[in-house]
Amino acid sequence: MVTAGSDEFRYLNDIASKRGLPAPLMPVVRVHSPMIGGSVSALQWGTSSPRLVFLHGLGQNAHTFDTVALTLHEPLLSVDLPGHGWSSATPPTMVTLDDVARGLCEALAPLRQSPAVLVGMSLGGLCALALAQRTPSWWSHLVLLDCTPSITPDKARTVTDFLDGPTSFDSIDDMLIRTIAFNPTRSPESLARGVALNAREREDGRWVWHHQAHETRLRPQFNAEQLWHTLSDLPLPVSLLHGTRGDSAVGVRDIEHFCSRRPGDRVRAVEGAGHALQGEAPEAVAAYLDLVLRASTQDR
């Protein structure tokens, strides 16, 4: 049985202990910052200026990067995208990626000081590209997790089909059963944590995912070719990490296109992983980000 509760940090010590990691970088607190039409919620790890900022994928929330954050042991921000986690509902005016970037820019401005590494997974990667275009001086490096501008609903079909499934559930255990069936390679324990941190009970007793609790959904429109131009023109290093399993959203042509647009930048395969790299291979993601942080420090 999985339970949802108010103490959203209750799993951190257990994750650290079982993976042989140091105790969580404390404090880990939830912060809220104004955004056009509402507010953006984020997890702030540590009290120093964040060295990394994470943007999650569709239907996820800031906690999807918990194990990566514990492994890195660095000050960082993990953001709930609009309409996800504990951020406000997606404003009706938030239609395009640029709209999302504008809202994130407003919300993140008071939460960061020096250049940081921007990390985006799937939808979060698309948002990160638009945000980096608006605020290039904020970032020392952009890391895309299993995402290029060519990501389409068809490439992410398994994910969108899962998210567009039942609009509510009888119990949180029903949500876990469906999640385990969808993620047969992940440990039930880690999936139970994820479900508990991404579910809420409605007043009528039905259970929904956080992103289902609002009438408006974050499905921003974008032009892939224009976003490739954005990627080409970014005045900062960009890395692409991708899975090698069949459910990865990055194919051979995507990698070739990325390399042609960013010939001096790195592409790294995460062997045996699929689309959700931060959940399936958090140590590999953290190890690469540690290299990026070290390089960024040396370049200053």
Known catalytic residue at 260:
no
CATH architecture classification, 12-151+216-299: 3-Layer(aba) Sandwich (3.40)
Residue of 122, 140, 239, 296 marked catalytic: 122
pLDDT digit string, tens, across residues 90-112: 999 999 999 999 999 999 999 98
Residue 151 · residue 282 · CB < 8 Å: no
Comparing 218 with 109, the larger pLDDT belongs to: 109
Is there a catalytic annotation at residue 154? no
Q: Among this protein's residues, is 146 annotated catalytic? A: yes
- Residue showing tokens 């479900």: 195
Q: How many CB atoms lie within 10 A of CB 294?
A: 10
pLDDT classification of 161: cutoffs 50, 70, 90: confident
Contacts 24+ apart (CB under 8 A), 184-191: 185/274, 185/280, 186/279, 186/280, 190/279
pLDDT (average), residues 260-277: 96
**Is a pLDDT exceeding 70 seen at residue 156?**
no
What is the reported pLDDT for 300?
58
**CA 187 and chain centroid, separation:** 20
Look up residue 205 and give its amino acid: G
Q: In this structure, how many other beta carbons lie within 10 angstroms of the beta carbon of residue 66?
A: 27
Within 54-202, where are the H helices?
A: 66-72, 97-108, 123-134, 157-163, 172-182, 188-196
Q: Where are the domains of the chain?
A: 12-151+216-299
Lowest mean pLDDT among 3-17, 59-73, 170-184, 247-261: 3-17
pLDDT at 41: 97
- Report the C-alpha gap between 297 and 100 in whole angstroms: 29
Kindly report, residue by residue over 57-81, the tens digit of the pLDDT.
999 999 999 999 999 999 999 999 9
Both tokens of residue 203? 């007043």
Annotated catalytic residue within 210, 211, 275, 296:
275
Which of 146, 210, 239, 247 is catalytic? The answer is 146
Q: How far is the first Cα of the chain from the last one, in angstroms, to the nearest whole number? A: 49
